[in-house]
Chains A and B, each alone.
Chain A
Amino acid sequence: MAAASSLSRETLTAFLLRLADDHLVLGHRLSEWCGHAPMLEEDLAMPNMALDLIGQARSLYQYAGAVEGKGRDEDQLAYMRREREYVNCLMAERQNGDFAHTMLRQFYFAAFMQPLWQAMMTSTDEHLAGIAAKAEKEVAYHIRHAGEWVVRLGDGTEESTRRMKAAVEALAPYVDELFESDEVTRAMAEAGIAPDPTTLRSAFDAIVGPVFAEAGLEWVETPYGQTGGRQGRHGEALGFLLAELQYMQRTYPGMTW
């Protein structure tokens, strides 16, 4: 935590919570597939990825709680914050839709996170570098797995192609938000903790481009991207997600088992 000296605890906490919320919310979304996947193999693959994401979220929440210094632990950060206090990107909270939609969303998020984790492996913040070193291997598999599905569905049957194209349309407005820059991300970049997201776009394009080419998919430009997640302004979907995620702790505060 040496690097945090020139940086306020609030700013670092805000950054960590964004990352943690992305991973918890998307991990929860993926976990909703458990028992509903189109085949047994995917019924294991998706919860596998969900557990990777939730594990990463736990590490980030634990660290965020320690940096914040107000005695909040990972459970309190995950279960006792309100919807407007969540700062995940909007893509993560999007409803699952069909399997094509879920796989494309996973592919986009992994293609965003891989260069970010890779850069944070050499972060001036050693604790974060440690989390990144573990997560980087996990996200590499997510890219491979979701990417292979994007290719096979995009370049598959008439129906799978139609569905994957619909997913590209539906998710297009949520891509740009990932790469937004503000005072928090700029402070991270200045302190050498994490690169500014704007610098990750070319790496994202370099991952997505070849997969789209192989899948026969075309990138869809969207005139007005959706934004607001980092400021706690969410779509309708997140409230329902948190209601389910937080139900137990809200009903029986402090409950353990």
Chain B
Amino acid sequence: MTKNQIPLWEVFIRPRNGLAHKHCGSVHAADEVMALQAARDVYTRRGEGTSIWVVPSSAITASDPENKDENFEPALSKVYRHPTFYDIPEDVGHM
């Protein structure tokens, strides 16, 4: 099999200082330098970012959609895990 000359990279952008990098899409590029440039050109044209990460798509291990039920359904019935069962005094303000 021939080596893929321009593999896929996942792009993460941090919109502002203090926020986390968020996945926003993917690009094709020959290496990490070109991947960063491609990400800059494709995903930050409207001032979306202050920082970019690129990660080889092949480095990502994903959960199997077939295991969706056993992975995620048990959480649905545990509403008590949501921090909504107490009142926040007004003086505390926005949390």
Residues of A whose CB lies within 8 Å of any CB of B are 39-42, 44-45, 48, 141, 144-145, 148, 152
On chain B, the residues within 8 Å of A39 by CB distance are 6, 28
Q: Which residues of A contact B45 (CB under 8 A)?
A: 44, 48
Complex Cα gap A35–B28 (Å): 17
Give the chain A neighbours of B41 by CB distance below 8 A.
41, 44-45, 48, 145
In the bound assembly, the distance between CA atoms of A145 and B30 in angstroms comes to 13
Contacts of A148 in B (CB 8 A): 33-34, 37
| B34–A152 touching, CB < 8 Å | yes
Q: How many Å lie between the Cα of A12 and that of B87 in the bound state?
A: 70
Find the residue from B28, B34, B41, B42 having the highest chain A CB count within 10 A. B41
Residues of A within 8 A of B29 (CB): 41
Is A144's CB under 8 angstroms from B37's CB? Answer: yes
Known: A48-B45, A144-B37, A145-B37. A41 touches B27 (CB 8 A): yes
With A44-B45, A48-B45: A152-B38 Cβ-Cβ less than 8 Å: no
Q: Is the CB of A41 within 8 A of B30?
A: no
With CB as the reference atom, state the residue of chain A lying closest to B44: A48
Q: What are the residues of chain B within 8 A of A145 when measuring CB–CB?
A: 37, 41
CB<8 Å pairs between A and B, sample of 14: A39-B28, A41-B27, A41-B41, A41-B42, A42-B38, A44-B42, A45-B41, A48-B45, A141-B40, A144-B37, A145-B41, A148-B34, A152-B30, A152-B34
